[in-house]
Protein backbone atom coordinates (compact mmCIF):
# COMPACT_ATOMS: atom_id res chain seq x y z
CA UNK A 1 0.00 0.00 0.00
CA UNK A 2 2.92 2.35 0.76
CA UNK A 3 4.39 1.70 -2.68
CA UNK A 4 1.07 2.27 -4.47
CA UNK A 5 0.42 5.60 -2.76
CA UNK A 6 4.02 6.86 -2.75
CA UNK A 7 5.85 5.20 -5.66
CA UNK A 8 8.67 7.77 -5.59
CA UNK A 9 9.41 7.32 -1.87
CA UNK A 10 11.98 4.90 -0.46
CA UNK A 11 10.37 1.45 -0.15
CA UNK A 12 9.88 -0.20 3.24
CA UNK A 13 12.16 -3.23 3.16
CA UNK A 14 11.94 -6.41 5.21
CA UNK A 15 14.93 -5.24 7.27
CA UNK A 16 13.35 -1.87 8.00
CA UNK A 17 10.09 -3.41 9.16
CA UNK A 18 11.88 -6.10 11.18
CA UNK A 19 14.12 -3.55 12.91
CA UNK A 20 11.06 -1.64 14.11
CA UNK A 21 8.66 -4.52 14.68
CA UNK A 22 10.92 -6.99 16.50
CA UNK A 23 11.31 -4.91 19.71
CA UNK A 24 7.55 -4.35 19.74
CA UNK A 25 6.94 -8.08 19.29
CA UNK A 26 9.29 -8.85 22.20
CA UNK A 27 7.44 -6.44 24.49
CA UNK A 28 4.07 -7.97 23.61
CA UNK A 29 5.45 -11.52 23.93
CA UNK A 30 6.77 -11.01 27.46
CA UNK A 31 3.66 -9.05 28.43
CA UNK A 32 1.47 -11.94 27.27
CA UNK A 33 3.62 -14.43 29.18
CA UNK A 34 3.32 -12.34 32.36
CA UNK A 35 -0.45 -11.90 31.95
CA UNK A 36 -1.04 -15.62 31.38
CA UNK A 37 1.11 -16.48 34.41
CA UNK A 38 -0.76 -14.04 36.63
CA UNK A 39 -4.20 -15.15 35.49
CA UNK A 40 -3.89 -18.88 34.96
CA UNK A 41 -0.76 -20.29 36.60
CA UNK A 42 -1.64 -21.96 39.91
CA UNK A 43 0.81 -23.15 42.55
CA UNK A 44 1.01 -26.68 41.15
CA UNK A 45 1.34 -25.68 37.50
CA UNK A 46 5.09 -25.10 37.85
CA UNK A 47 5.67 -28.71 38.90
CA UNK A 48 3.58 -30.02 35.99
CA UNK A 49 5.49 -27.85 33.53
CA UNK A 50 8.89 -28.81 34.92
CA UNK A 51 7.97 -32.50 34.65
CA UNK A 52 6.92 -32.04 31.03
CA UNK A 53 10.10 -30.12 30.21
CA UNK A 54 12.31 -32.76 31.81
CA UNK A 55 15.36 -33.51 29.64
CA UNK A 56 14.64 -37.24 29.55
CA UNK A 57 11.06 -36.62 28.43
CA UNK A 58 12.11 -34.15 25.73
CA UNK A 59 14.82 -36.54 24.53
CA UNK A 60 12.33 -39.39 24.18
CA UNK A 61 9.94 -37.14 22.26
CA UNK A 62 12.79 -36.06 19.97
CA UNK A 63 13.81 -39.66 19.32
CA UNK A 64 10.23 -40.51 18.34
CA UNK A 65 10.45 -37.91 15.56
CA UNK A 66 13.37 -39.71 13.96
CA UNK A 67 15.98 -38.12 11.69
CA UNK A 68 15.02 -35.33 9.30
CA UNK A 69 13.97 -36.56 5.87
CA UNK A 70 15.47 -35.12 2.69
CA UNK A 71 12.25 -33.23 1.94
CA UNK A 72 12.26 -31.64 5.40
CA UNK A 73 15.87 -30.54 5.00
CA UNK A 74 15.12 -29.01 1.61
CA UNK A 75 12.10 -27.13 2.94
CA UNK A 76 14.24 -25.77 5.77
CA UNK A 77 16.95 -24.73 3.30
CA UNK A 78 14.47 -23.03 0.96
CA UNK A 79 12.77 -21.20 3.82
CA UNK A 80 16.14 -20.09 5.20
CA UNK A 81 17.16 -18.84 1.75
CA UNK A 82 13.87 -16.97 1.49
CA UNK A 83 14.51 -15.14 4.77
CA UNK A 84 18.10 -14.28 3.78
CA UNK A 85 17.01 -12.93 0.39
CA UNK A 86 14.26 -10.88 2.02
CA UNK A 87 16.73 -9.38 4.48
CA UNK A 88 19.44 -8.63 1.91
CA UNK A 89 17.30 -7.26 -0.93
CA UNK A 90 17.52 -3.73 0.49
CA UNK A 91 19.82 -3.38 3.49
CA UNK A 92 20.41 0.35 4.12
CA UNK A 93 20.50 3.55 2.09
CA UNK A 94 24.28 3.19 1.80
CA UNK A 95 24.22 -0.58 1.17
CA UNK A 96 21.53 -1.17 -1.47
CA UNK A 97 21.53 -5.00 -1.43
CA UNK A 98 21.02 -7.40 -4.32
CA UNK A 99 17.76 -5.73 -5.36
CA UNK A 100 19.77 -2.87 -6.88
CA UNK A 101 21.01 -5.27 -9.57
CA UNK A 102 17.48 -5.34 -11.03
CA UNK A 103 16.83 -1.58 -10.86
CA UNK A 104 14.08 -2.00 -8.29
CA UNK A 105 12.08 -4.44 -10.42
CA UNK A 106 12.57 -7.34 -7.98
CA UNK A 107 10.60 -7.16 -4.75
CA UNK A 108 9.81 -9.45 -1.83
CA UNK A 109 7.05 -11.03 -3.91
CA UNK A 110 9.57 -11.94 -6.61
CA UNK A 111 11.63 -13.88 -4.06
CA UNK A 112 8.53 -15.63 -2.70
CA UNK A 113 7.42 -16.79 -6.15
CA UNK A 114 10.95 -17.94 -7.01
CA UNK A 115 11.24 -20.04 -3.83
CA UNK A 116 7.74 -21.45 -4.32
CA UNK A 117 8.66 -22.46 -7.88
CA UNK A 118 11.62 -24.45 -6.54
CA UNK A 119 9.18 -26.58 -4.53
CA UNK A 120 7.70 -27.84 -7.80
CA UNK A 121 11.15 -28.61 -9.25
CA UNK A 122 13.16 -30.27 -6.44
CA UNK A 123 12.41 -34.00 -5.96
CA UNK A 124 11.53 -35.30 -2.50
CA UNK A 125 13.34 -38.64 -3.05
CA UNK A 126 10.40 -40.65 -1.71
CA UNK A 127 9.04 -41.79 -5.03
CA UNK A 128 10.53 -41.48 -8.48
CA UNK A 129 9.36 -38.28 -10.16
CA UNK A 130 7.65 -36.91 -7.06
CA UNK A 131 8.48 -33.31 -6.12
CA UNK A 132 8.42 -31.43 -2.83
CA UNK A 133 5.14 -29.87 -3.92
CA UNK A 134 2.57 -30.99 -6.47
CA UNK A 135 -0.79 -29.64 -7.48
CA UNK A 136 -2.76 -32.06 -5.27
CA UNK A 137 -0.95 -30.67 -2.22
CA UNK A 138 -1.16 -27.14 -3.56
CA UNK A 139 -4.96 -27.37 -3.81
CA UNK A 140 -5.12 -27.90 -0.04
CA UNK A 141 -3.53 -24.51 0.64
CA UNK A 142 -5.89 -21.90 2.19
CA UNK A 143 -6.44 -19.96 -1.03
CA UNK A 144 -9.27 -18.05 0.64
CA UNK A 145 -6.64 -16.19 2.67
CA UNK A 146 -4.75 -15.25 -0.50
CA UNK A 147 -7.97 -14.01 -2.10
CA UNK A 148 -8.88 -12.14 1.08
CA UNK A 149 -5.56 -10.30 1.07
CA UNK A 150 -5.84 -9.56 -2.64
CA UNK A 151 -9.37 -8.26 -2.19
CA UNK A 152 -8.12 -6.02 0.60
CA UNK A 153 -5.57 -4.37 -1.68
CA UNK A 154 -8.20 -3.99 -4.42
CA UNK A 155 -10.62 -2.32 -2.00
CA UNK A 156 -7.88 0.00 -0.77
CA UNK A 157 -7.14 1.06 -4.34
CA UNK A 158 -10.85 1.57 -4.95
CA UNK A 159 -11.16 3.74 -1.85
CA UNK A 160 -8.32 5.89 -3.19
CA UNK A 161 -9.38 6.16 -6.84
CA UNK A 162 -13.09 6.75 -6.14
CA UNK A 163 -12.44 9.66 -3.79
CA UNK A 164 -14.10 7.82 -0.90
CA UNK A 165 -10.96 8.30 1.19
CA UNK A 166 -11.39 12.06 1.09
CA UNK A 167 -15.04 11.80 2.14
CA UNK A 168 -14.43 9.37 5.00
CA UNK A 169 -11.37 11.25 6.21
CA UNK A 170 -13.64 14.13 7.21
CA UNK A 171 -15.03 11.88 9.96
CA UNK A 172 -11.51 11.75 11.42
CA UNK A 173 -10.59 15.38 10.82
CA UNK A 174 -10.45 15.93 14.59
CA UNK A 175 -7.03 14.28 14.43
CA UNK A 176 -5.73 17.48 12.85
CA UNK A 177 -6.02 19.21 16.23
CA UNK A 178 -4.25 16.44 18.14
CA UNK A 179 -0.78 17.22 19.59
CA UNK A 180 2.11 15.64 17.69
CA UNK A 181 3.04 13.11 20.40
CA UNK A 182 -0.58 12.05 20.85
CA UNK A 183 -1.08 11.11 17.19
CA UNK A 184 0.36 7.58 17.41
CA UNK A 185 -1.53 6.42 20.55
CA UNK A 186 -4.83 7.90 19.36
CA UNK A 187 -4.61 6.42 15.86
CA UNK A 188 -3.53 3.07 17.29
CA UNK A 189 -6.44 3.12 19.77
CA UNK A 190 -8.98 3.85 17.03
CA UNK A 191 -7.62 1.11 14.78
CA UNK A 192 -7.33 -1.38 17.66
CA UNK A 193 -10.96 -0.74 18.61
CA UNK A 194 -12.34 -1.13 15.08
CA UNK A 195 -10.43 -4.37 14.51
CA UNK A 196 -12.35 -6.16 17.28
CA UNK A 197 -15.52 -5.98 15.18
CA UNK A 198 -14.04 -6.64 11.73
CA UNK A 199 -11.08 -8.70 10.57
CA UNK A 200 -7.65 -7.12 10.95
CA UNK A 201 -7.14 -7.15 7.18
CA UNK A 202 -10.45 -5.35 6.60
CA UNK A 203 -9.59 -2.78 9.25
CA UNK A 204 -6.21 -2.07 7.68
CA UNK A 205 -7.79 -1.78 4.23
CA UNK A 206 -10.36 0.72 5.49
CA UNK A 207 -8.31 2.78 7.93
CA UNK A 208 -4.91 3.21 6.27
CA UNK A 209 -6.11 5.05 3.11
CA UNK A 210 -8.03 7.45 5.37
CA UNK A 211 -4.96 8.06 7.50
CA UNK A 212 -2.91 8.83 4.38
CA UNK A 213 -5.42 11.49 3.38
CA UNK A 214 -5.42 12.96 6.90
CA UNK A 215 -1.62 12.99 6.98
CA UNK A 216 -1.60 15.03 3.77
CA UNK A 217 -4.02 17.52 5.32
CA UNK A 218 -1.96 17.75 8.52
CA UNK A 219 1.30 18.06 6.53
CA UNK A 220 2.97 15.30 8.56
CA UNK A 221 4.83 12.20 7.41
CA UNK A 222 2.20 9.61 6.31
CA UNK A 223 3.96 6.77 8.15
CA UNK A 224 3.39 8.63 11.41
CA UNK A 225 -0.28 7.69 11.00
CA UNK A 226 -0.05 4.64 8.74
CA UNK A 227 2.15 2.52 11.01
CA UNK A 228 0.08 2.96 14.21
CA UNK A 229 -3.06 2.37 12.15
CA UNK A 230 -1.73 -0.78 10.48
CA UNK A 231 -0.12 -2.29 13.59
CA UNK A 232 -3.05 -1.27 15.80
CA UNK A 233 -5.30 -3.34 13.54
CA UNK A 234 -3.25 -6.40 14.54
CA UNK A 235 -4.04 -5.88 18.24
CA UNK A 236 -7.15 -8.04 17.81
CA UNK A 237 -7.06 -9.88 21.09
CA UNK A 238 -10.40 -10.11 22.84
CA UNK A 239 -13.28 -10.90 20.45
CA UNK A 240 -13.71 -13.93 18.14
CA UNK A 241 -14.74 -11.65 15.26
CA UNK A 242 -11.41 -9.79 15.35
CA UNK A 243 -9.34 -12.29 13.37
CA UNK A 244 -9.66 -15.88 12.07
CA UNK A 245 -7.07 -17.03 14.63
CA UNK A 246 -9.39 -15.98 17.45
CA UNK A 247 -12.24 -17.93 15.88
CA UNK A 248 -10.10 -21.08 15.75
CA UNK A 249 -9.30 -20.82 19.46
CA UNK A 250 -12.86 -19.92 20.42
CA UNK A 251 -14.48 -22.79 18.51
CA UNK A 252 -12.45 -25.38 20.44
CA UNK A 253 -14.85 -24.87 23.33
CA UNK A 254 -12.02 -24.48 25.84
CA UNK A 255 -11.97 -20.68 25.67
CA UNK A 256 -14.84 -18.34 26.53
CA UNK A 257 -15.24 -14.72 25.50
CA UNK A 258 -14.71 -13.60 29.10
CA UNK A 259 -11.31 -15.36 29.07
CA UNK A 260 -10.37 -13.61 25.84
CA UNK A 261 -11.41 -10.21 27.21
CA UNK A 262 -9.66 -10.79 30.53
CA UNK A 263 -6.42 -11.59 28.74
CA UNK A 264 -6.83 -9.34 25.72
CA UNK A 265 -7.62 -6.00 27.38
CA UNK A 266 -4.35 -5.66 29.35
CA UNK A 267 -2.40 -7.01 26.38
CA UNK A 268 -3.99 -4.43 24.08
CA UNK A 269 -3.13 -1.66 26.56
CA UNK A 270 0.49 -2.82 26.68
CA UNK A 271 0.64 -2.99 22.87
CA UNK A 272 -0.75 0.52 22.39
CA UNK A 273 1.56 1.94 25.08
CA UNK A 274 4.63 0.22 23.61
CA UNK A 275 3.82 1.37 20.07
CA UNK A 276 3.19 4.91 21.33
CA UNK A 277 6.68 4.98 22.87
CA UNK A 278 8.45 3.34 19.93
CA UNK A 279 6.86 5.42 17.19
CA UNK A 280 8.39 8.84 18.06
CA UNK A 281 11.72 7.29 19.06
CA UNK A 282 12.74 4.17 17.14
CA UNK A 283 10.15 4.87 14.45
CA UNK A 284 11.54 8.34 13.79
CA UNK A 285 15.00 6.82 13.33
CA UNK A 286 13.96 3.83 11.20
CA UNK A 287 11.30 5.45 9.02
CA UNK A 288 12.42 9.08 9.16
CA UNK A 289 8.98 10.31 10.21
CA UNK A 290 10.42 13.64 11.36
CA UNK A 291 11.11 14.59 7.76
CA UNK A 292 9.14 14.56 4.51
CA UNK A 293 8.32 11.73 2.11
- Predicted local distance difference test score (pLDDT) of residue 120: 93
Tell me if 272 sits within 8 A of 190, measured CB to CB.
no
By CB atoms closer than 10 A (0-12, 13-18, 19+), residue 94 is exposed
Task: Give Cβ neighbours of residue 16 (< 8 Å, ≥ 6 apart).
Answer: 90, 286, 287
Which mean pLDDT values do the consecutive 10-residue runs of the chain (293 residues) have?
Answer: 73 84 95 90 72 76 85 93 88 76 82 92 85 87 71 69 71 71 87 82 81 82 90 87 76 83 92 92 85 60
**Measuring CA to CA, how many Å separate 211 from each of 101, 207, 226, 228?**
34, 6, 6, 10
The per-residue pLDDT for 29 is: 95
**Residue 76: its pLDDT value, please?**
95
Closest to 132 measured CA to CA, from 61, 208, 51, 72:
72
pLDDT of residue 168: 67
pLDDT at 275: 93
* Rounded distance between C-alpha atoms, residue 274 and residue 268, angstroms: 10
Q: Would you say 168 and 259 are in contact if contact means Cβ atoms under 8 Å apart?
A: no
Say what the pLDDT of residue 152 is. Answer: 64
SS3 of residue 54 by DSSP:
coil
Q: What is the pLDDT of residue 87?
A: 85
Angle at 80 between CA 76 and CA 82, to 5 degrees: 120
For 27, 114, 127, 205, the CA distances from 111, given in Å and listed in that order, are 30, 5, 28, 24
> How big is the chain, counted in residues?
293
Tell me what pLDDT residue 122 has.
92
Instruction: Kindly list the domain boundaries of the chain, sorted by start residue.
Output: 1-11+142-293, 48-141
- For the stretch 56-114, pLDDT in tens is 877 888 888 888 889 999 999 999 999 999 888 877 666 778 888 888 788 888 899 99
Does the pTM of the predicted model rise above 0.75? no
Task: Say what the pLDDT of residue 3 is.
Answer: 73
Amino acid sequence: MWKSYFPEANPISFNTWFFFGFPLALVIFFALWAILCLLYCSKGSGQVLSAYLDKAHLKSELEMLGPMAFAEKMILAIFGTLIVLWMTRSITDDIPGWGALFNGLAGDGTVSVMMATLLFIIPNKKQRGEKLMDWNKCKKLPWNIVLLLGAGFAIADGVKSSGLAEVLSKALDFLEEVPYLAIAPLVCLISATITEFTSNNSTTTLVVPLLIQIAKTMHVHPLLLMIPGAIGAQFSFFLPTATPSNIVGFTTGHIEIKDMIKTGVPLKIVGIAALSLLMPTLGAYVFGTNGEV
